[in-house]
């Protein structure tokens, strides 16, 4: 039986939103919201925050979360997840949950894990949802994805894709949700590969996977994703949280 770990990479420095994991949403730091949301998963045998910052480490300890320090020279959350996976071979599947998805639903984590449990050939899975507001499609903070008939990713972009030439076709766009499910070997292999040209152009590491021939299964959900990348996103997250706790 597969053993599954959820990891939440968290770094303090962010060009768009400095100190992002510790920024407050309501009465809790964002990292606590993400941890508590992810901890509802029924598939995770363990959930751990991976950070290189003592401030984040201390806050996670204080709210009772599981946290480990990682080297500060790791470039991305995927590198932190790989670092952990290399040192914990007992886990067959690694769920990399983005720290800036504070209200991620249990269903998204568990249904994204399921393809790897059911089909051995699937090495990587992630999630997407239809944009509710077409104005958001133009926002480069929200990566878009297009998929093939079997539900595998064809391309990710910060630009609106696909381009609708025919006006009689309903415009539907898929927004990528910040979660990746990896088989351990695929994750370790991926992080040994150099950055690819498209990855550098779009600043989307999932393009490294596609450019190197990895197939990425996309699970689609009806989900009002609230990811936080800017001050404006943080304001929206606070509004969303206040609305959710009102009776």
pLDDT at 71: 95
Rounded mean pLDDT of 77-99?
96
Task: Record the pTM.
Answer: 0.93
Is residue 147 within 8 Å of residue 218, measured between CB atoms? Answer: yes
Question: Which pair of tokens denotes residue 96?
Answer: 């990399």
pLDDT at 1: 76
Q: How confident is the model at residue 207 (pLDDT cuts 50, 70, 90)?
A: very high
Q: How does DSSP assign 204-235, residue by residue?
A: -THHHHHHTT--EEEEEE--------SHHHHH
Measured over the CA atoms of residue 160, residue 166, residue 167 and residue 172, the dihedral's sign is negative
For the chain, the farthest-separated pair of C-alpha atoms sits apart, in whole angstroms, at 55
> Which tens digits make up the pLDDT trace of 98-155?
998 999 999 999 999 999 999 999 999 999 999 988 999 998 988 999 999 999 999 9
Write phi, then psi, for 40 (nearest 5 degrees). Answer: -80, -10
CA distances from 215 to 10, 114, 125, 173, 219 (A): 26, 16, 8, 20, 13
* Mean pLDDT, rounded, of the chain: 94
- Between CA 45 and CA 63 the distance in angstroms is 19
pLDDT at 246: 58
Tokens 């239809």 appear where?
130
Which element (helix H / strand E) includes 187? helix 184-190
Q: How confident is the model at residue 224 (pLDDT cuts 50, 70, 90)?
A: confident
Helix axes 30-38, 54-62, angle to 10 degrees: 50
**Domains of the chain and any CATH numbers:** 4-245 (3.90.550.10)
Range list of H helices, 5-120: 30-38, 54-62, 77-87, 106-118
- Between CA 39 and CA 120 the distance in angstroms is 25
> Which tens digits make up the pLDDT trace of 171-185?
999 999 989 999 999
Weakest-pLDDT range from 59-73, 97-111, 141-155, 220-234:
220-234
82: nearest Cα among 124, 128, 41: 124
Q: How confident is the model at residue 193 (pLDDT cuts 50, 70, 90)?
A: very high
> Which tens digits make up the pLDDT trace of 31-49?
999 999 999 999 999 999 9
Rounded mean pLDDT of 63-73?
96
CA distances from 222 to 56, 62, 177 (A): 32, 34, 11
Q: How confident is the model at residue 2 (pLDDT cuts 50, 70, 90)?
A: confident
Question: Which pair of tokens denotes residue 186?
Answer: 């695929």
CA 180, chain centre distance (Å): 6
């Amino acid at each position: 039986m597969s053993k599954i770990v959820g990891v939440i990479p968290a770094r303090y420095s962010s060009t768009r939103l400095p100190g992002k994991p510790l920024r407050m949403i309501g009465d809790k730091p964002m990292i606590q919201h993400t941890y508590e949301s992810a901890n509802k998963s029924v598939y995770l045998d363990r959930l751990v925050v991976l950070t290189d910052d003592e401030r984040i480490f201390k806050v996670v300890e204080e709210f009772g979360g599981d946290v480990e320090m990682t080297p500060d020279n790791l470039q991305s959350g995927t590198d932190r997840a790989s670092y952990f996976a290399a040192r914990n071979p007992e886990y067959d599947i690694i769920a990399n949950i983005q720290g800036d998805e504070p209200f991620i639903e249990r269903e998204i984590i568990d249904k994204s894990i399921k393809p790897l449990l059911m089909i051995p050939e699937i090495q990587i899975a992630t999630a997407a949802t239809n944009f509710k507001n077409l104005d958001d499609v133009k926002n480069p903070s929200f990566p878009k994805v297009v998929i093939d008939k079997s539900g595998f990713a064809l391309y990710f972009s910060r630009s609106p894709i696909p381009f609708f030439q025919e006006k009689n076709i309903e415009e539907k766009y898929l927004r990528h949700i910040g979660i990746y499910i990896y088989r351990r070997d695929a994750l370790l292999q991926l992080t040994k590969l150099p950055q690819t040209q498209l990855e550098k152009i779009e600043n989307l590491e999932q393009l490294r996977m596609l450019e190197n021939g990895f197939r990425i299964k996309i699970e689609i959900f009806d989900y009002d994703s609230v990811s936080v990348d800017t001050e404006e996103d943080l304001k929206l997250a606070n509004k969303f949280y206040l609305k959710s706790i009102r009776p």
